[in-house]
Chain A
Amino acid sequence: MNWWSRLFRRRQLEDELEKELRFHLDEHRDDLIGRGGTPEQARRQARIALGGAEQVKEKCRDARGTRWLEDLLQDTRYALRAFRQRPGFTAITLLILALGIGATTVMFTVVNSVLLRPLSFPEPEKLVTLHGFTSDFGEFWGFSNPDLTDLRRDSRSLAIAAWTYGGGTISSPGEPEYVDGRQISAELFDTLGIVPQKGRAFQANEDRAGAAPVAVISDSLWRRRFAGDASAIGSTFVFDGKPYRVIGIAPADFQLSGEGDVYTPLGQNTEPRMQNRQAHFIHAVARLNPGVALSAAQAELALISRRLAEQYPKSNEGLRMLAHPLQQELVGDVGTTLWLLLSAVGLVLLIACVNIASLFLTRALSRERELAMRVALGARRSRLVRQCITESAVLGVCGGLLGIVLAELGIRRFVAFWPGTLPRASEIYLDWRVMVFAVGISLLSGSFFGLAPALRVPAHRLEQVLRSGGRAFAGGQRRLHRAFVISELALALVLLVSAGMLGHTMVMLSSLDPGLNVHNLLTARFALSPGALANPARLQAAWQDVLDRARRVPGVEFAALTDIIPMRVGENSIGYSTTSAPPRPNQVSIALASSVTPDYVNVMGIPLRQGRFFTDDDGKQSERVVVVDENLAQHAFGDKDAVGKFLWIPAMGANPVRIVGVVGHVRHWGLAGDDHSRVRDQLYSPFAQVPAPLMRFLSSVMSIAVRTKNAPLNSLEALRLELRGASGDQALYDVHTMEQLVSASVARQRFLLSLFGLFAGLALLLACTGIYGVLSYITGQRVPEIGVRMALGASVGEIMRLVLWQSFKMISLGLAIGSIGALGAGRVLQRLVEGMQPIGPAPFVVMIPLLLGAALLASYLPARRASRIDPVKALRQE
């Protein structure tokens, strides 16, 4: 019989044991009677010979080898009974634990899904993204098509695929709709290791200019426009003015830096920039060939980029190519936020555990007599320790299970609460690793708060414990209790100061001037009619029509076109210099450039400092002009007047351009990020002077901005209708008010602040209840002493002071230790959070008194109770 069947047939085994022993006694008795004893004597003698029947049974049970499990079950039952007896205590501890473990599990689930779990492609560790690097521009994602073609031809270590953003209007069948798209090279699906869910991917002969237009569409577009019907494959739809045949449907969760709806072959793109070695607009993703290490691929890339630089010095001088693991690229800078939150929530859990540990300790002390009694009756110490730990572990596991349920319920909500989109959001779920983690931390926290009481199981001087009821030995526990209170306060202060720093930062950021008037300002990307796009000569006129239509909409004050919108929506960095001599590498000045229409400053509310802004007279035929911001003016010309000076801008041709005005600086990189961004100079050029070859591309990224007289969203519908244009196939998309954009630029800081604030509040609450509990207990232990003091003439005030002083000492020590921790945490925050204010005294000045006050308030009640002690009763209690 193996041990588990012995365990499950326990009842039967018990019966058999009873029967066996009874048989023994009966036989012995009969024998003795047979030898002439009286039945009474015989029975007695047989019993004596066997020894105590119960002891024999106990030893037989030990022999079964299932003892530890039976003990565990017994202890668990005992624990559950004890919990039932104290439903309030149990409910509160369970609630604290479930919340703590639940919150930690949610954070860990996100960390696990986003950062730890490998990407869901086959052999994801072999996937890399390629980046370009120059010392002037730093690292950037884009490649030029000729460079990439050469790289693909020459590389032996990488299978390289390419893609770039696309998008356009689907005009038939059905209502016109602007959709995002991607232009991809034929090998992209293969390189990633995925296949379309239906149909096929592109073939090499479709990925070249002049081939018949074909498209792979997204799962969501398939369901939206084709009702998920398999007959969609082979059907035709009009996209960007051209009929495309659907050949495949991408897997449901497929994304390339966000969702695209239409995938078209990159090779069919005939724009001039496809041949331009300086147009870096193509993303490259690659798979390491079998047996090739990342470092070998890096070395090969370095070699090829050097060769290209020699061959094409004009475009490739100083350009290096780098490879990074794909996962790193996809996840981006979310990692720091996630680790920060996991640490913060871990601190809250730690405080919760310390809190419960002190509650348990308090309880264990009141049970000390019981434990001493059981030791005196022969219980082994290890057995009692085991019992104590079982009791808390049961609580821990129950709390953990509740926590997992809470996490499962809360995880989606949390992901939705995340500012912007969380990368890999669709992959976030609770898996076995999360379960192991949650059960692990519940057991760990369970044993943690069970350990302290368990070590209190008396080993020596039993009779003293029994006689005194534990009161005489209060010194040791008081030290432990004090340690609990001190660590709770220290941890709480770390969280409070962190939250304080974030709060301070938010206040500072909100008070910054974004450099424009954020009110009554609406921005949107704009998809021009495919018919207009097909006719490059008419593009300027088509855009002029858009502006004229926008101005006609009631409530619109000004309207302007721009290729980038402040607050990080788009970027276009170009080099400039103040002399005609080509600048040395490393010394190129970089500015953020945008092409705008004359009303741009009126729409945005950017102040004009000097000179003028553009007018309708700045056209193709007139002199090429630019307007710069005050940063560029200061940077390039110091205190001298910038208006009338010339800039040499390679991206705008060989001839210099004249500066006609200086405007205020706009915090383009967000309220938080702008001060630390690489590119802080800004430069505007007239949209009307954009060279014709660039117009087709620029037209696909243009946005419209309007200043309204009233709330901007009120004018949106009228604007949408009016801008559909004569052919009814133009669309607004990505519509935002400037207020939304400014707010989104500090969303990460606000998100961190709200969560840290929540955690800090919880920590404060837990720390205060902890102090209250511990102090009530310690004061309770001191009742006889206080009674004596009062009998000897101590006043109520003196007793209050005595208790509060004791508490004050603990609190100050906790705050001192916590301040050191908070300084460290502040340093970490400052490094990881953009726009963070340096650690100043402010959060300490606010948070230390707050915590001190709250802690003293929590101490006040026990102190008052101590001062109300009736000395006569107190002494009689002794």
Chain B
Amino acid sequence: MQKTDLPQGTLDLLILKVVAVEPVHGYAIAQRLDQVSRGVVQVPEGSLYPALHRLENRGLLTADWKQTESGREAKFYSLTRKGRKQFEADSANWARLIQAVGLILGMADGGTR
């Protein structure tokens, strides 16, 4: 299956979604995104970490060093209160956008049928 690049600005939203479930480290976020999207979405690992750090500096994420099951120390990210608000606002926006884009595309289809 062909992999698709992420639309601009959506990486932050996806990260917030994954982190919202439970505290999680960077590698797991990459894995999760890959699995959930069934490999459709190409997660650029190189931009994952800068995005995480940016979100942390904006106060949307907070980070703790914890032991993993494998016994290694990893940086676990979790959502702050501000981050949760941002996530809710962003996902609502996204849903509206999808709906609107869908409507417009549907209308165009209806016109040719």
Chain A residues near B (Cβ < 8 Å): 1, 6, 16, 19-21, 23-24, 26-28, 30, 49-52, 55-56, 59-60, 62-65
Report the minimal beta-carbon distance from B94 to chain A, rounded to whole angstroms: 23
CA distance A21 to B50 in the complex (A): 11
Quick one: which of A24, A28, A49, A65 has the most chain B CB within 10 A?
A24
Q: 8 A-B contacts, Cβ less than 8 Å apart?
A: A1-B57, A19-B73, A20-B49, A23-B26, A23-B73, A24-B45, A50-B45, A63-B54
A553 to B59 Cα, complex, angstroms? 95
Candidate in A19, A27, A59, A64 with the most chain B CB atoms within 10 angstroms: A27
Q: Nearest Cβ in chain A — how far from B74, in angstroms?
A: 5
Kindly identify which residue among A24, A59, A60 contacts B27, using a CB–CB cutoff of 8 Å. Answer: A24
- Cα distance A1–B27 in the bound complex, in angstroms: 23
Complexed CA–CA distance, A24 and B25 (Å): 9
Query: Separation in Å of the B67 CB from the closest CB of chain A?
Result: 11
User: Is A56 touching B75 in the complex (CB atoms < 8 A)?
Assistant: no
Cβ of B7 under 8 Å from chain A: no
Question: Is B45 within 8 A of A49, CB to CB?
Answer: yes
Query: Is B46 in contact with A16, judged by CB distance below 8 angstroms?
Result: no
Query: Contact mask B20-40 → A, CB, 8 Å, 1/0?
Result: 000001110010000000000
Known contacts A20-B75, A28-B27; A64 and B46 CB within 8 A of each other? no
What 0/1 pattern do residues 68 to 93 of B give for CB contact below 8 A with A? 10101111000000000000000000
B42-73 interface mask toward A, CB cutoff 8 Å, 1 = contact, 0 = none?
00111101110110010000000100101011
> What residues of chain A lie closer than 8 Å to B47, measured between beta carbons?
59
Q: How far is the CA of A748 from the CA of B112 in the complex (A)?
A: 97
CA distance A579 to B50 in the complex (A): 103
B59 to chain A, nearest CB (A): 9
CB-CB under 8 A for A52 and B72, given A63-B53, A63-B54, A65-B57: no
Instruction: Tell me, in angstroms, the Cα distance from A734 to B9 when the chains sit together.
Output: 87
A60 touching B50 in the complex, CB below 8 Å, given contacts A6-B57, A51-B44: yes
Chain B residue with minimal CB distance to A30? B70
* A27-B75 Cα distance, complex, nearest whole Å: 13
| Closest chain B CB from A385 CB (angstroms) | 26
Report the minimum CB–CB distance from B26 to chain A (whole Å).
6
Q: Which residue on B lies nearest to A57, using beta carbons?
A: B49
Contact partner of A23 (CB less than 8 A), chosen from B25, B45, B50, B51, is B25
B70 touches A27 (CB 8 A): yes
- CB-CB under 8 A for A59 and B49, given A1-B57, A24-B26: yes
* CB <8 Å contact, B49 and A60: yes
- Measured CB to CB, the nearest residue on chain B to A13 is B53
Report if A27-B72 is in contact (Cβ < 8 Å); known contacts: A20-B49, A50-B45, A51-B45. yes
Q: Closest chain B residue to A1 by CB distance?
A: B57
User: Which among A1, A27, A28, A56 is the interface contact of B46 at CB below 8 angstroms?
Assistant: A56
> Which residues of the partner chain A approach B25 to less than 8 Å between Cβ atoms?
23
By a CB distance below 8 angstroms, the chain B residues around A6 are 57
**Apart from the given pairs A6-B57, A20-B26, A24-B26, 18 other A-B contacts in the complex at a CB distance below 8 Å:** A16-B65, A19-B73, A23-B26, A23-B27, A23-B72, A23-B74, A27-B68, A27-B70, A27-B74, A49-B45, A55-B46, A56-B46, A56-B49, A59-B47, A59-B50, A60-B50, A62-B50, A63-B57
Cα distance, A877 to B9, chains bound together (Å): 55
Query: Interface on chain A toward B: helix, strand, loop, or mixed SS?
Result: helix
Q: Are B46 and A50 in contact (CB under 8 A)?
A: yes
Return the 3 tightest CB-CB contacts between A and B, nearest first: A51-B46, A59-B50, A63-B53
Q: Which residues of B contact A19 (CB under 8 A)?
A: 73, 75
Report the bound CA distance from A569 to B49 in whole Å: 85
List residues of chain B with CB within 8 A of the CB of A23. Answer: 25-27, 72-75
Whole-angstrom distance between the Cβ of B89 and the nearest chain A Cβ: 21
CB distance from B45 to the nearest CB of A (A): 5
Q: Which residues of B contact A64 (CB under 8 A)?
A: 53, 57
**Which residues of B have CB within 8 Å of A55?**
46
Most A CB within 10 A of own CB, among B45, B46, B49: B49
Quick one: closest A residue to B43, CB to CB?
A49
Shortest C-beta distance, A799 to chain B (Å), equals 60
Contact residue among B51, B57, B75 (Cβ-Cβ distance under 8 Å from A16):
B75
Which of A28, A52, A63 lies in contact with B50, CB distance below 8 A? Answer: A63
Complex-state Cα separation, A643 to B50, whole angstroms: 106
Q: Distance (Å) between the CB of B66 and the closest chain A CB?
A: 11
A56 and B26: CB pair below 8 A? no
User: B49–A21 contact, CB under 8 A?
Assistant: yes
A59 touches B26 (CB 8 A): no
Instruction: For residue B36, give the distance in angstroms from its CB to the closest CB of chain A.
Output: 17
User: Which A-chain residue is minimally distant from B46 (CB atoms)?
Assistant: A51
How many Å lie between the Cα of A59 and that of B57 in the bound state? 13
Determine how close the nearest CB of chain B comes to the CB of A66; give it in whole angstroms: 9
The minimal Cβ–Cβ distance linking B61 to chain A, given in whole angstroms, is 12
A21 to B30, CA, bound (A): 13
**Shortest Cβ distance from B43 into chain A, in angstroms?**
10
In the docked arrangement, what's the CA distance between A361 and B73, Å? Answer: 53
C-alpha spacing A1/B26, complex, angstroms = 20
Of all chain A residues, the one with the shortest Cβ separation from B30 is A24
A49, B46: Cα distance in complex, Å: 8
Contacts of A1 in B (CB 8 A): 57
* Inter-chain contacts of B44 with A (CB < 8 A): 51
- B46-A52 in contact (CB<8A): yes
Q: How far is the CA of A700 from the CA of B93 in the complex (A)?
A: 96
The residues of B that contact A26 with a CB separation of less than 8 Å are 72
CB distance from A598 to the nearest CB of B (A): 97
Measured in the bound complex, the distance between the Cα atoms of B49 and A78 in whole Å is 30
Which residues of chain A come closer than 8 Å to B51, judged between CB atoms?
A: 63
A62 to B57, CA, bound (A): 11
C-alpha spacing A756/B45, complex, angstroms: 69
Complexed CA–CA distance, A52 and B45 (Å) = 10
Taken together as a complex, chains A and B put the C-alpha atoms of A191 and B70 apart, in Å, by 86
Chain B residue with the shortest CB-CB distance to A16: B75
Residue of B nearest to A20 (CB): B75
Q: Which residue of A lies closest to B74 (CB)?
A: A23
Residues in A with CB closer than 8 Å to B68 are: 27
Q: Which A residues are in CB contact (< 8 Å) with B75?
A: 16, 19-20, 23
For B45, the chain A residues whose CB sits under 8 A away are: 24, 49-51
How many angstroms from the CA of A130 to the CA of B89 in the assembled complex? Answer: 73
- Kindly list chain B residues whose C-beta atoms are within 8 Å of the C-beta of A20: 26, 49, 74-75
Residues of A within 8 Å of B46, CB to CB, are 50-52, 55-56, 59
Question: In the assembled complex, how far is the CB of residue A751 from the closest CB belonging to chain B, in whole angstroms?
Answer: 61
A27 touches B27 (CB 8 A): yes
In Å, the complex CA distance between A6 and B75 comes to 17
Min CB–CB distance A418 → chain B (angstroms): 58
Nearest-CB residue, chain B, relative to A25: B27
What's the Cα separation between A62 and B54 when bound, in Å?
Answer: 9
A64 → B minimal CB distance (Å): 6
> How far apart are the CA atoms of A23 and B76 in the complex, in Å?
12
How far, in whole Å, are A65 and B53 apart by their CA atoms in the complex? 10
Considering the chains assembled together, what is the distance between the CA atoms of A60 and B56 in angstroms? 11
Which residues on B sit within 8 Å (CB–CB) of A56? 46, 49-50
